[in-house]
């Protein structure tokens, strides 16, 4: 006549719910991806990511100070160069925008936060691919690796504490580790974008970095249909010396995140990407979703699935909401 089990007992008021809550999101878990545009005197809005901008060097510094005072765990920097070429030479130029901005941030907040840099050529190439191309237009893995090695060293010299190789080239973590070690940057860590999918959810990011890409990245990023392959990618990155591994995107790949978190013996990150941001913001703008609740629920679910660290464009704002 009476139910013998009553899970509702542990939900009956806020105090008991607080006591038994399994998953927390704290400001320190969140990393803010930021864009800096060469030559910009004012921040430039990104239409498909309302609330996110391409920063000028000045506005980047200010926004970084704000994010750090909100308590975020780190910053991940992307550069938008004024000029691009076939080999992405702006990426390895110490005076390229990403490296200049790293030096700015290093001086401003370098001792108060973890400074990370996206390590990839796509923002710097005129064809928009993550590496250099063969005559037939495919991305040349091993020639690209050489450039990644150089890029890592320049980023470390410019103040990056962590480099984030995101190009999905085979062997990238090993080559980057070797070049960092050989140049005195043994302490610079590698956050490997291990399981990165050829995802439609990166759409708005193309606006964010003014990407020139024609075609797709299916010869180097993973097929969304494959889960097992993600475990192999993470294993390889760990064998090559990754200090942390990442799954990207996050919300449509929580199963992959759970699988990797179950076996990795390093911290695991997940990247809530541009399309995930745009999707929620668009629904909020229509009055269809409650912004703060939806954002926090999305972050909680990514943490619940196993992410120690979450990269999210809401990092600074969510950190303010979450401040104890």
Q: Nearest 5°: CA angle at 200, between 299 and 235? A: 65
Give the H or E element holding residue 258: helix 254-263
* 3-state secondary structure (DSSP) of residue 183: coil
> Following CA atoms 136, 166, 160, 314 in sequence, which dihedral angle do they give, to the nearest 10 degrees?
130
- Tell me how crowded residue 56 is: count the other CB atoms within 10 A of its CB: 19
Least CB distance to ligand PBG at residue 217 (A): 6
What is the smallest separation between the CB atom of 109 and ligand PBG, expressed in angstroms?
Answer: 21
Q: Which of 196, 201, 259, 303 is catalytic?
A: 196
Query: Closest Cα partner for 153 from 94, 83, 238?
Result: 94
Q: What 3-state class would DSSP assign to 152?
A: helix
Give the residue, chosen from 189, 273, 299, 307, that forms a contact with ligand PBG under the rule CB under 6 A: 273
Tell whether residue 38 is a contact of ligand PBG (CB under 6 A).
Answer: no
Q: Residue for token digits 């920063």?
A: 55
Beta carbon of residue 219, minimum distance to ligand PBG (angstroms, whole number): 13
* Catalytic residue selected from 248, 249, 269, 306: 248
Closer Cβ to ligand PBG, 43 or 275, answer by number: 275
CB within 8 A of 18, min separation 6: which ones? none
User: Nearest approach, Cβ of 205 to ligand PBG (angstroms)?
Assistant: 3
The reply on whether position 32 binds ligand PBG by CB under 6 A is: no
Please give the full DSSP string across 184-243, using - where no structure is assigned. T-TT-EEEEEEEEB--GGGHHHHHHTT----S--TTTSBPTT-SHHHHHHHHHHHHTT-S
314 near ligand PBG (CB under 6 A): no
Q: Judged by CB under 6 A, which stretch of 9-17, 104-112, 116-124, 224-232 contacts ligand PBG? A: 116-124
Known catalytic residue at 218: no
Q: Does 118 bind ligand PBG (CB under 6 A)?
A: yes
| 124 touches ligand PBG (CB under 6 A) | no
Stretch that binds ligand PBG, among 4-12, 118-126, 147-155, 284-292 (CB under 6 A): 118-126
Count of residues of this chain found to bind ligand PBG when the rule CB under 6 A is applied: 9
The residues that are catalytic are 196, 248
| Residue numbers at the binding site for ligand PBG (CB under 6 A) | 118, 120, 122, 166, 202, 205, 217, 273-274
């Amino acid at each position: 006549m009476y139910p013998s089990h009553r899970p509702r007992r542990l939900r009956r008021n806020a105090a008991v719910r607080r006591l038994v809550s399994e998953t927390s999101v704290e400001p320190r878990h969140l990393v803010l991806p930021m864009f800096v545009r060469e030559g910009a005197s004012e921040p430039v809005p990104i239409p498909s990511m309302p609330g996110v901008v391409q920063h000028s060097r000045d506005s980047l510094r200010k926004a970084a100070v704000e994010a750090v005072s909100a308590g975020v765990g780190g910053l991940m920097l992307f550069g938008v160069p004024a000029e691009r070429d076939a080999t992405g030479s702006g990426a390895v130029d110490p005076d390229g925008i990403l490296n200049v901005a790293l030096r700015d941030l290093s001086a401003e907040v370098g001792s108060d936060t973890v400074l990370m840099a996206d390590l990839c050529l796509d923002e710097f190439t005129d064809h928009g691919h993550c590496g250099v191309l063969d005559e037939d237009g495919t991305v040349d893995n091993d020639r690209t690796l050489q450039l990644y090695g150089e890029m890592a060293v320049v980023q470390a010299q410019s103040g990056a504490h962590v480099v984030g190789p995101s190009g999905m080239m085979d062997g990238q973590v090993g080559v980057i580790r070797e070049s960092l070690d050989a140049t005195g940057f043994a302490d610079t860590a590698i956050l490997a974008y291990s399981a990165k999918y050829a995802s439609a959810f990166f759409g708005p990011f193309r606006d964010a970095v003014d990407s020139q890409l024609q075609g797709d990245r299916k010869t180097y990023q993973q097929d969304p249909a494959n889960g097992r392959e993600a475990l192999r990618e993470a294993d390889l990155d760990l064998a090559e010396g990754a200090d942390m591994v990442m799954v990207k995107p996050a919300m449509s790949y929580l199963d992959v995140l759970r699988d990797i978190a179950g076996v990795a013996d390093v911290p695991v990150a997940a990247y809530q990407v541009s399309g995930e941001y745009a999707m929620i913001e668009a629904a909020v703008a229509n009055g269809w979703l409650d912004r703060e609740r939806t954002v926090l629920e999305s972050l909680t679910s990514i943490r619940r699935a196993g992410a120690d660290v979450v990269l999210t464009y809401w990092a600074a704002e969510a950190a303010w909401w979450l401040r104890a």
